[in-house]
Amino acid sequence: MKILTVVGARPQFMKAAAVSNVIRQKHEEILVHTGQHYDENMSKIFFEELRIPKPDYNLGVGSGNHGKQTGTMLIKLEEIYEKERPDLVLVYGDTNSTLAGALCASKLLIPVAHVEAGLRSFNMNMPEEQNRILTDHISKYLFVPTVTAEKNLKKEGIEKGVYNVGDVMYDSVIRIGKLAKENSEVLEKLDLNDNEYILTTVHRAENTNDPKRLKNIVEALNESGKKIVLPLHPRTHKYIQDYGLAFSGNIKVVEPVGPIDMIALEMHSCKIVTDSGGVQKEAFFMHKPCITMRDETEWVETVENGWNKLTGTDKNEIINGINSFNPTNEQEEIFGDGTAAKKILDILDRY
């Protein structure tokens, strides 16, 4: 079987690290990188550190508004699909790369497999929510990570081809965690001690593109008085400069880090503050309290289980979470057993 995989952003690289490894043990895989994350630290380093096979195609799409970015991907992907004639197209998550990869395949009557199907934040203002829903409705195989995701699809009338395999990110975090313990020197490089800092990430467009929301986040981090380590996303850096904002001395701003160092920073933090979907889960996997600076989350299970607190961008709520949110209850096994990639391959083999 020839499987064509489309990736374009950091979370997708991490998921592909787990799934591509098992696919290539039995099948031919063509790997297409759309270039949605084009920054060296946001892209190439992930392929190198996670030992993902070099992409067969790199579309080099780069940044741009949603229509232009998605449209450019569709044009370039169509040429590749017609040349390679894959038996199946595999897409991950909820980015413009996800939607373009799935839509192009659907138009050419190529079956689509969607890894991480069924997630819903119920906020249609988020481009990611639109991408998720549209991709799910044109996919033949829907690999969901949780029971909640399965229920979401059922409510939308999607029951055929749905498989609860667990979360491939859990597979990846287990694997990368081992690499981090063996290879990461990030704590020494940044002069950090175990369990003495709060790890923070800010990158979501709804926060960075809104001056008020970003100002609240920056002020909350500054006024928390806690030692915070912030690998700064390029877009966030740009908007902080544009809005005339600045961090105080308790914030250690560092360049974006690769996946192994990021997992190491998460493992050794005392708490995590983020607006990232992936980092919320990684925090849960590592039993770290997570404060999520969003109004809703697609990972509702982490909130219901008491290990994730939604604060939106209310300054006082963020500060309160940083200072007071310390869950102690036992976690439930929500995201499977760390063998999602193998289960995906077994299901595809049956067909």
Check 33, 37, 114, 203 and give the catalytic one: 203
d(CA 186, CA 200): 15
Q: Reduced to 3 DSSP states, what percent helix, strand and coil does the chain have, rounded to the nearest 5?
A: 45, 15, 40
Identify whether 33 is a catalytic site residue.
no
Residue in 141, 44, 56, 157 with CA at minimum distance from that of residue 91? 141
Question: Which DSSP category does 324 fall into?
Answer: H
| DSSP per residue, 238-294 | HHHHHTT----TTEEEE----HHHHHHHHHH-SEEEES-HHHHHHHHHTT--EEE-S
Helices vs. strands in the chain: H and E counts, helices first: 16, 13
Q: What is the CA radius of gyration of the chain?
A: 20
Query: Both tokens of residue 234?
Result: 């390029």
Residue positions counted in the chain? 351
What are the residue numbers of the active site? 203
